[in-house]
Structure 1
């Protein structure tokens, strides 16, 4: 009689474990981080995840939508409350937020989003021109003469617009892939509320638009919208050059699924859009090379602070031999992924997203410089790949049962 409830109970218990793991991660961050934004987020998130875990395992009255209540608690604690707290202007912001705001102002005033010959860390803009677009709202708000302490300044905060692109990319991809279901929505909410993504949304947001554009562009390409998909992918590549790693996989998907003509159309629109997006970078090529290429890779005159203890960073810290070992491992990963791509080209969004997520994971884990926040990009790719795969399987007709002899 109670057997029908077992799968649902098991699902709630699995969600409780996830929330507990999320909460432990928040407490670890609170213990070891010295950044005000991280500590503020961890306080709120740990409470939200803890309440969500309790709701998932505590007996509740019949008919109570336990899963929804738990997700509301997690989203409130990990996203809504810290987002409001960190955007109210009373907490120290991470340097990236100021960099984006300043680059937006520079783009408006000079057409070039870079401080010429920047040497101070706070003046360096490691992003390509499209990222400066997220700083334009702050520049426009500042020009209105609004009191710096006014709540209206939140409208210009780059984190708000970065989060909007990421959420829009996730939901837009789900709609394009026809994965709209209660399960898909719940999975997407749980993914966005996970610590890596929620913390990034509240604290800096810099990797979110890249992830959002990648997801949406890949979904557009996978659903045979090569022109629009190419423009969106070009926007991702005009935020960070690392997004170029996705191009071979997207082209393999288009060739395998729709043919070379569709792939050629994608390339044409990608090149045209990219040429437009990078114009501000070309206008100051020396600053672009110094700040966008040399600085993030650790070859600039100013050392990069992106040195989280990732495997590649730890290897590089051992000296020249360790750096060579990290690059050799990267080369091995590139060969393996390229071989798999040639032998088993992706034909679905899920397969292509998995390929791209694997490529980014290898790159971020083994690069000589890096930080944990980068991993939200493969996390979102893997998460949407799983959601899309489940949607594909649910649409497949069930085979007829075999009749007994």
Structure 2
């Protein structure tokens, strides 16, 4: 790598890291049939969904028989039910981790493409604004300072493509480096459960930043049908769209997400409502028939075990944190995909820390959410270009002053 040019050396280093940290260990674990218990849970839920129309066992006896995911997660287990586990081709194609990884990488590619287009538009606008000699006027007027001001349109030229060419190559390399890092490579190889949710949330925020409410709502519907952890992303995307594209766009995104989630979840929920509530909502929060293995000593868990009413105290703190994040979305809505991802990451981090049951590994999700939009080339809107917020304080009242009467000329008569 040292003998290669800098550009090729960076790309070669990332390729070697991907092979050594992702591809090789993933293939070894898949062919050996080893991984965390979540993989077997997803594959079993896919088989149950195919045979019985619901991914939940009616009376689970052990922790491994619980399915703490919404019905959409069972779709990743359908390949195992279709291909089986006889022979290495079937074992490879049926593993749920490969399909989780494929959806994750596909969402990242779509998000990089969306961010890249937004970056090209923003860069073109800045290039046009910085080249006053290349602007043509359409109509006349006067500026506040007395000079002429006219609406302008940029004249096409070779300068803008030259400025935007690096945008299409840099983010791909940085995102690939993040995938090869332990933050993503480790869960990708051993579990892969949270990767589709993360990719869909990043894609939804990228589409919302480009003012595409229906596409963003569709991505949110897929994410919300996997785990209820993705539900706060609907509020964040709606706040982003309301601040940048208007309330109607925000309602379209939220409505699309709600209808899509209901269409994916309701068939299984109506078929087995009791097991769904027990395994998806009660079990992960420590209120199921069996104790949850998510018992890391996080603040919410410690508070829940402190006293008989500790579980309710942790739940109250969790609700207060959610209200605080919701208030921040109303008073200071995000203006771009990076700010929206930061707000979602803060909300999820608070939820994982204050939940009555949790694991340290859950915090990897908000960390990846905060990093991916920045690395994928999302354009940031400068604060100076944002319109100032109106002050809600009433203006001091002052009595109207009477207009001066016109003075009439005095006529002096001659003596």
TM-score, normalised with respect to structure 2 = 0.74
2:338–2:380 Cα contact (<8 Å) kept: no
Pick which of 305-314 and 182-191 moved more.
305-314
Question: 2:226 is paired with a residue of what secondary structure?
Answer: coil
CA offsets 1:207-233 (integer angstroms, 9 cap, x no match): 111111111122222222212221220
Q: 1: CA distance between counterparts of 2:229 and 2:44? A: 22
Q: Corresponding residue for 2:75?
A: 133
Q: Corresponding residue for 1:12?
A: none
Q: 2: CA distance between counterparts of 1:262 and 1:390? A: 20
Q: Superposition pairs for residues 38-53 of structure 1, below 5 Å?
A: none
Q: 2:186 aligns with which of 199, 212, 220?
A: 199
Pair 255,244 (structure 1): closer, same or farther in 2 beyond 3 Å: same
Q: 2: CA distance between counterparts of 1:366 and 1:188? A: 30
2:237–2:340 Cα contact (<8 Å) kept: yes
1:196–1:373 Cα contact (<8 Å) kept: no
Q: Corresponding residue for 2:401?
A: none
**CA offset at residue 274 of structure 1?**
1.7
Q: 2: CA distance between counterparts of 1:109 and 1:62? A: 55
1:162–1:205 Cα contact (<8 Å) kept: yes
1:306–1:371 Cα contact (<8 Å) kept: yes
Q: Corresponding residue for 1:24?
A: none
Instruction: Give the unaligned 5+ runs of structure 2.
Output: 120-166, 386-415
CA offsets 1:70-93 (integer angstroms, 9 cap, x no match): 3223222211111111111x2533
1:363 aligns with 2:305: no
Q: Superposition pairs for residues 177-192 of structure 1, below 5 Å?
A: 177-178=115-116, 180-192=167-179
Q: Corresponding residue for 1:79?
A: 22
Q: 2: CA distance between counterparts of 1:393 and 1:258? A: 14
Question: 2:231 is paired with a residue of what secondary structure?
Answer: helix
Q: 2: CA distance between counterparts of 1:370 and 1:61? A: 47
Pair 84,245 (structure 1): closer, same or farther in 2 beyond 3 Å: same
Q: 1:266 aligns with which of 248, 253, 263?
A: 253
Q: 1: CA distance between counterparts of 2:54 and 2:312? A: 35
**CA offset at residue 365 of structure 1?**
2.1
Please report the RMSD computed on the Cα atoms of aligned residues, expressed in angstroms: 2.4
Which structure has the highest helix share of the two? Answer: 1
Q: Corresponding residue for 1:333?
A: 321
Equivalent pairs counted in the alignment come to 333
Q: 2: CA distance between counterparts of 1:124 and 1:377? A: 22
Instruction: Give the unaligned 5+ runs of structure 1.
Output: 1-54, 398-405
Q: 1:297 aligns with which of 281, 285, 299?
A: 285
Q: Superposition pairs for residues 1-150 of structure 1, below 5 Å?
A: 60-61=2-3, 63=5, 65-88=8-31, 90-142=32-84, 148-150=86-88
1:351–1:385 Cα contact (<8 Å) kept: no
**CA offset at residue 150 of structure 1?**
2.4
Q: Superposition pairs for residues 212-227 of structure 1, below 5 Å?
A: 212-227=199-214
Q: Corresponding residue for 1:10?
A: none
2:234–2:257 Cα contact (<8 Å) kept: no
**CA offset at residue 339 of structure 1?**
3.0
Q: 2: CA distance between counterparts of 1:269 and 1:365? A: 30
Pair 271,293 (structure 1): closer, same or farther in 2 beyond 3 Å: same
**CA offset at residue 389 of structure 1?**
6.5
**CA offset at residue 168 of structure 1?**
1.4
Q: Corresponding residue for 2:373?
A: 385
Bigger Rg, which one: 2
Q: Corresponding residue for 2:223?
A: 236
1:349–1:388 Cα contact (<8 Å) kept: no
Larger relative contact order (Cα-Cα within 8 Å, sequence gap ≥ 6): 2
Q: Corresponding residue for 2:232?
A: 245
**CA offset at residue 275 of structure 1?**
1.9
**CA offset at residue 197 of structure 1?**
1.4
